[in-house]
Amino acid sequence: MKVTSEKLENRQVQINIELDETQIESHKASSYKKLVGRYNVPGFRKGKAPRGILERFIGVETLIQEGLEELLDETTKDIVLDQELDAVAPPRISEIESLDPITFTAIVSLKPEVKLGDYESLRVVREAVSIEESQVDEVIENLRTQRTPWEPVERPVEIGDLCTLNIEGYAYSEGKLSDEPYMDEKSISYLASADSTYPVPGFVDQVVGSSIDEESEFDISVPDDFNVEELRGSDIRFKVVVQEVKEQAFPDIDDEWAKTMSLAEDESYESLADLKLKIRSDIEERSKQTADAEYEEKILDALGETAEIDYPPILLDSEIDHMIQDQDQQLRSMGISLEAYLSSSGQNPETIRDSLRPQAEKRIIQSLLVSELSEVAAVTPSEKEIEDEIQRFINEQPEGEAREQAESFFVNPDATETVKRRLTARKTVDMLTEIASTPEKIKKTSKKAKPKKKTTAKAKATNTKKKTTKKKE
């Protein structure tokens, strides 16, 4: 077997492989055993045709192609082991150049390479957290909106109302109105918000002023930049019937109203001032958490600017795959598939991958920086810290089956190792944060020494005489 390799950029190696005749012959013999029972060769019972006859009947290329992918994969893996290449993923066959002899190339993705800068000299200014009174007022207003019930009213629709509507939408095609509605919704709840773009921009303006049980009919031209691609630039006729209109009768924000509010279980407030104090405390806590996270981001960004990082593209593709899987799970929990979301937002799989690429790159770089720093600084959690973290997670689960499942889950060493890695990363970031937030030492300016008086030759002689006399004594 002939093997040559060449180094590529981004921590990749290309291996060029040509199998020798012995390997090819062994592969053909193995393929013959798999294929001979699949073909009815004239003049022979099924499975009894000699290899030479079968080869002429199906063609030598068919014989070679059988199990070829598995052969190339196993061959490449053996070469990676023999050459002691530090691969982070299975080799990828990039091209099959020839089947006679079997010649192909494979790409091997190597372990990332990270060279940290002088992280101990890293300093990043932390921004002070400040809370504005308007933030408290906004929470108060949201509370009043959320806790005020909707009450039916007998009047035309106004901005801010919650309506129940029947909506039919018919698209125009070449100037003619379609017979089949593209939209047919019955008794749907519709918030007549001034900035609403559902089902299309301008719809809410047509609904405002409509009375209960009144059927209105109107045309809307959809903007060319609308987020639903198939509706862009089209004209649509809507038929709308208002079934019900509701409004909120907002109470005054005073002490009596505050007494009816609760932000957490078993909490109550004696006055509006008490409620605002609690809200301010919550905002401060959340703001601090956000500020801490942003500060850590700035520190890691600063560390990245002083570091040299090289990693294979497969890590980026894998990270994007994970992010898309997370999005899909989140959407499914809300009752919508990723495919439906992409369609409604006018996106396709490639555009969403491109949109996630910058965030994925940042995640990879930060992960590599933290991992390298934990090794360089020998950061590792103690056994007690790991045990405490596992117990904390278990205790957070509801008593009963959920807690029992959590306890059995951590019997697995892999689960414990995951906790260890997470704690290691956390301790490493904490260490780096402490370094970056330490004020620079201010060098004290030393007082200038007084210039020495010049000593004359006569004075020197006198001093020497005094020292000699003292010594004799």
Tens of pLDDT, residue by residue over 147-191, are: 999 999 999 999 999 999 999 999 998 888 888 998 999 999 999
Asked whether residue 98 falls in the same domain as residue 182, the answer is: no
CATH number of the domain to which 55 belongs? 3.30.70.1050
* Residue in the structure block whose two tokens are 């918030």: 191
Number of compact structural domains in the chain: 3
Asked whether residue 40 falls in the same domain as residue 101, the answer is: yes
Q: Which of 49, 82, 111 is the last residue of a domain?
A: 111
What band does 471 get if pLDDT is binned at 50, 70 and 90? Answer: very low
Q: Which amino acid is at 168?
A: E
- CB-CB contact of 232 with 222 (8 Å): yes
What's the pLDDT at 454?
Answer: 44
More confident call, 265 vs 260: 260
Tell me the Ramachandran region of residue 400: left when phi exceeds 0, alpha when psi lies from -120 to 50, beta otherwise. Answer: left
Residue 465 has pLDDT above 70, yes or no: no
Q: Which of 58, 83, 111 is the last residue of a domain?
A: 111
Q: Which of 111, 134, 160 is the last residue of a domain?
A: 111
- CB-CB contact of 152 with 248 (8 Å): no
C-alpha gyration radius of the chain = 37
What's the pLDDT at 346?
Answer: 74
- Burial class of 428 by CB neighbour count within 10 A (0 to 12, 13 to 18, 19+): buried
Residues sharing a CB contact under 8 Å with residue 111, sequence separation 6 or more, in sequence order: 11, 86, 87, 88
CA atoms within 13 A on the CB side of 438: 13
**Is 392 domain-assigned?**
yes
Distance in angstroms (rounded) separating the CA atoms of residues 269 and 253:
13
First to last CA, the chain: 96
Looking at 163-167, 260-264, 320-324, which range is the least confident one?
Answer: 260-264
Main-chain dihedrals φ then ψ at residue 233, nearest 5 degrees: 75, 5
Distance in angstroms (rounded) separating the CA atoms of residues 423 and 224:
50
Residue 205 has pLDDT above 70, yes or no: yes
Residue 53 has pLDDT above 60, yes or no: yes
**Is 424 domain-assigned?**
yes
Asked whether residue 163 falls in the same domain as residue 93, the answer is: no
Asked whether residue 153 falls in the same domain as residue 98, the answer is: no
Per the prediction, the chain carries an average pLDDT of 90
Asked whether residue 106 falls in the same domain as residue 153, the answer is: no
Specify the 3-state DSSP secondary structure of 275: helix
Of all helices (H) and strands (E), which one includes residue 466?
A: helix 457-472
pLDDT in tens, 60-110: 999 999 999 999 999 999 999 999 999 999 999 999 999 989 999 999 999
pLDDT over 90 for what percent of the chain?
78
**Is 162 domain-assigned?**
yes
pLDDT in tens, 215-225: 999 999 999 98
What's the pLDDT at 156?
Answer: 96
Residue 466 has pLDDT above 50, yes or no: no
Asked whether residue 76 falls in the same domain as residue 159, the answer is: no
**Is 323 domain-assigned?**
no
Asked whether residue 21 falls in the same domain as residue 106, the answer is: yes
CATH number of the domain to which 164 belongs? 3.10.50.40
What's the pLDDT at 441?
Answer: 56
- CB-CB contact of 266 with 210 (8 Å): no
Asked whether residue 189 falls in the same domain as residue 98, the answer is: no
Whether the predicted model's global pTM rises above the 0.85 cut: no
Rounded to 5, what percent of the chain is helix, strand, coil? 50, 20, 35
- The CB density around residue 175, as the number of other CB atoms within 10 Å, is 6
- CB-CB contact of 265 with 383 (8 Å): no
What's the pLDDT at 343?
Answer: 77
Tokens of 26: 């062994």
* Residue in the structure block whose two tokens are 């004290």: 444
Residue 325 has pLDDT above 60, yes or no: yes
CA atoms within 13 A on the CB side of 81: 6
Tokens of 131: 């809370």
What's the pLDDT at 388?
Answer: 95
What is the pLDDT averaged over residues 238-265? 93
Asked whether residue 103 falls in the same domain as residue 14, the answer is: yes
**Is 87 domain-assigned?**
yes
Tokens of 28: 């053909």
* ∠ CA 108-113-115, rounded to 5°: 170
Domain span at residue 39 reads 2-111
Asked whether residue 153 falls in the same domain as residue 222, the answer is: yes
Distance in angstroms (rounded) separating the CA atoms of residues 259 and 270:
6
What is the pLDDT averaged over residues 265-294? 93
What is the pLDDT averaged over residues 439-455? 47
**Is 160 domain-assigned?**
yes
Asked whether residue 97 falls in the same domain as residue 33, the answer is: yes
Asked whether residue 53 falls in the same domain as residue 102, the answer is: yes
Tokens of 132: 């504005």
pLDDT over 70 for what percent of the chain?
93
pLDDT in tens, 107-144: 999 999 999 999 999 999 999 989 999 999 999 999 99
Residue 101: asked if its preceding bond is cis (omega within 30°), the reply is yes
Beta bridge mates, 106: 15, 93
**Is 174 domain-assigned?**
yes
**Is 243 domain-assigned?**
yes
